[in-house]
Amino acid sequence: MPTYRLHYFDARGRGEVARLMFNAAGQKFDDVRYTKDTWPDFKPKTPFGQLPVLEVDGKLFGQSGAIFNYLARELGFYGNGNLEALQVDVVIGLVNDLIPLMLKVFFQEQDETKKKELLEKLLTEDAKKFFNYFEKVLKENGSSGYFVGKGLTMADIVVYDIVDTLITNKATIVDPFPVLKANRQKVESNPGIAAYLKSRK
């Protein structure tokens, strides 16, 4: 097995899915975190001047989506066979449709009044739309409680992470969606993730 180092800021953000997968698999890795003071020294060494970066046996790789896909394949979170991999990618596609709406609220919109309106829309209308999509996929997959197949995949982990961000803004946001809420409990029941969540920042 290769030696892994994950380089990211001292925050969850785009590095958290990789951390969750590493912990879910019980795979040892170095969790290298940067502050605003230490990041400028490392930035010129990165492939594209951004984080996250995954270091595999000393070689650096950028682009979060590529990193997640690689780890999912290496650690066994991409389903069994190409059809299940396609199903995983469908769920990831839904999350990637939701992310720009979140970025607009949390990072791009500067007008405070407009930001407040967009946040309210995100936590009600947008969340309901995508949570219903997530529940539809979960129900179509049968009684396993997972998005794909009968075990944990990157789909479960990525959805868990993105919903976490919304929960920090509205604690009860998942309550009207019992199937999605049960899926989150499935993710949290993974021994490696359970141990990580107890100590994470």
Q: Give residue-wise pLDDT tens across range 176-199.
A: 999 999 999 999 999 999 999 999
The full set of domain ranges for the chain reads: 4-76, 81-189
Mean pLDDT, rounded, for 16-27? 99
Quick one: three-class SS letters along the chain?
Answer: CCCEEEEEECCCHHHHHHHHHHHHHCCCCEEEEECCCCHHHHHHHCCCCCCCEEEECCEEECCHHHHHHHHHHHHCCCCCHHHHHHHHHHHHHHHHHHHHHHHHHHHHCCCHHHHHHHHHHHHHHHHHHHHHHHHHHHHHCCCCCCCCCCCCCHHHHHHHHHHHHHHCCCCCCCCCCHHHHHHHHHHHHCHHHHHHHHHCC
pTM: 0.95
pLDDT digits (tens, 9 = 90+) for 76-117: 999 999 999 999 999 999 999 999 999 999 988 899 999 999
The dotted CATH code for 81-189 is: 1.20.1050.10
The dotted CATH code for 4-76 is: 3.40.30.10
pLDDT digits (tens, 9 = 90+) for 166-181: 999 999 999 999 999 9
pLDDT band, residue 200 (cuts 50/70/90): confident
pLDDT digits (tens, 9 = 90+) for 47-77: 999 999 999 999 999 999 999 999 999 999 9
